[in-house]
Structure 1
Amino acid sequence: YWITGSFEFRDLFEIFNNLILNNKVHFFFCIICTFLLFTGAVAKSAQFPLHLWLPNAMEGPTPISALIHAATMVAAGIFLVARLLPLFLVIPNIMNLISLIGIITVLLGATLALAQKDIKRGLAYSTMSQLGYMMLALGMGSYRAALFHLITHAYSKALLFLGSGSIIHSMEALVGYSPDKSQNMILMGGLRKHVPITKISFLIGTLSLCGIPPLSCFWSKDEILSDSWLYSPIFAIIACSTAGLFRIYLLTFEGHFNVYFQNFSGKKSISFYSISLWGTDELNPIETNTNSLINTKFCFLTLNNNEKVSFPSKIPDPIDGNGMRSFITITFFDNKNNKSIYSYPSESDNTMLFTLFLLILFTLFSGSIGIPFDQKAIDFDILSKWLSPSINLLHQNSSNFVNWYEFLENTRFSFSIASFGLFIASFLYKPLYSSLQNFDFKN
């Protein structure tokens, strides 16, 4: 305001550009001003190196994470950079810095997500990586692609967060209120048989973020990847190699229930470890006298790989007649005989599933607002019409339309990259990761 005398965006951009072109203001001072504005956006949108707050913010309720951390609060920094992009365009050093921070965040978020056991923290680092894609697009000058991905990502990531909430709700009926257990992906293998609706919704959201057509994130992510090849092949290779979100789906729904581990606390010298209904860990000695009755409020987790894992359950069900392998086995000890009751996680109620259904619709069809096809009868590109006043500030008479041949060429490449990433994730995590033994459960 000191050098422009206005807070209006249009006036600010015009005056600032004229001052720089006519050398009426020191260029280093302009760099400092734009750098500080960009730093605020870096902190707000969890970009490297100010990204640590976002995974820790996942401790909040899952619906809050789905709304604030997927679509609104973290989007504020991206929107700020997009709104001030005419200010950054006249300073190439800042544009290069924006793209560099974006690509570092893309790579860092994707690799950190691969190492998480907590399902919500894994999604948080995935959100960080997707925000990096948006920042990368802004640094390349792809104003429209960044905001397009901001819209499509919001629906897909909200679907994944609410899907994780449905999974956690199902797990809490078995392990009690304990985020270390109910959110641990290593304890969730084989859920596809027990929560099929949640599984389908989670799969749709995952495939969308991986860039599988015709889901919504494909249209925006493909546009960013195409622009990245024109901007920098190195950045493009990094951006194309970070589709690792499918690991979360594989660890949660595929395979079998993982029972081959030591214990939840990582203590290796305890033969029996009890878990209360509310997740508090206590050590309870076991009496060997056959006339004694062991308290059935607690179930015991054994260390031996050939023995069963037991958790408390609210709704015990008898084993199915078809011989389905039990998800949880609860054993009651008395002085006469041992009775086993088999318990399974159950699907969430209709209220939770209804919100998943709505987000599935948006995940399937929200990408249609930005399909850049120039048709005489129907103009698909609604997004460009919404953004045309702002786009004209950047590029006069710009056109975002592509023909079908160019689209199919880009689609074939991006789809092959996403499919290769899904194949690698399936190969690495489905047969190998779930079978690791003696795994330390401290995150």
Structure 2
Amino acid sequence: MTATDVFINSAAENSARNYNPLPVVVASAEGAWMTDVEGRRYLDMLAGYSALNFGHGNRRLIDAAKAQLDRVTLTSRAFHHDRYADFCAQLAELCGMEMVLPMNTGAEAVETAVKTARKWGYRVKGVPDDTARIVVAANNFHGRTTTIISFSTDPEARDDHGPYTPGFDIVPYGDLAALRAAITDSTVAVLIEPIQGEAGVIVPPEGYLAGVREVTRAQNVLFVADEIQSGLGRTGRTFACEHEGVVPDMYILGKALGGGVVPVSAVVSSREVLGVFRPGEHGSTFGGNPLACAVALEVLAILRTGEYQERAAELGDHLHQELQSLAGVPGGPVREVRGRGLWAGVDLDPALGTGREFCERLVGRGVLAKDTHGSTIRLAPPLVISKEDLDWGIERLREAVARG
């Protein structure tokens, strides 16, 4: 029995089966590469669902964390600490907004955004108590808390967890007419992903985000953009909304904000919106802790250079050109390719296997990726990946999806 088998069998004994990991046991990682317990190297084409945008073991982020570990790691928000003000100011500036409410995980940030929108609806817009509604998109993925799965259309995430939280109206993603029709006097927000990641890296029709911005502004409704996966460089811009020149009323951020070192998330908005909170109405023991702020401040410094956004744009163009050549083969295994920047969804012929089976083939060729929804593979390598390594990974994909 191999070291990999021993670990996997041991984990199966004591871990709930809420995940079904690929049969790889990672022991170390650097840049875009991971090494397993038996010394085999794998090219990471998932990057922790965009949490590792700046690569494994990024020296700037590790050094920032180590320096902070020697000073103070947690105070709770009962006291001030000396990294908090800078973090809030610099993140607000990056977003072109005024206030920040820090949390830890993406799901916590989405929950915070929901609470914020409702509170704004009651205190500012004047919606009657307990009537606020939020419009969301079908096939969304915003997390797995009870409230969030209440407006999911994915049976795998939703089933057997009821009763569900009311107050949400689901419309087809990309359908501006349906969204407009769903807005009523009780609507306080529209919550969408600028690109739907879990659904298979679905890019909305051109003009959709600009249309959402126009409709929400006209109806006095908050436009809340969940940029947890799409934000902070992944699509070739700091935010995916920028591709249509759109600034929402509220950003939800996470994953890459912690650089793959610590969980950091945040809701960023105007003073009018986040100013609705008073002391004691919302909080988190670990949200905005000194260690998280130190790492996130370094992430913000990295983003200000624009280097990673440019890399994602340039390498993303190359990635999509290569993937489209696979999709252009008549009767070939690749049916469709979607995405933006260093982010792609590849739909494969179900007759040739499931997405999981294709990912297992990739494991055997030294590439780690993740399937979703049947026969779709998601590709999201760290933004530090070299063109040579990217080409190597694409060639392994070409082999894995070949017929026969």
Q: TM-score, normalised by structure 1?
A: 0.22
Structure whose residues are more often strand by fraction: 2
Larger radius of gyration: 1
Structure holding more helix per residue: 1
TM-score by length of 2: 0.24
User: Which one scores higher on RCO, CA 8 angstroms, separation ≥ 6?
Assistant: 2
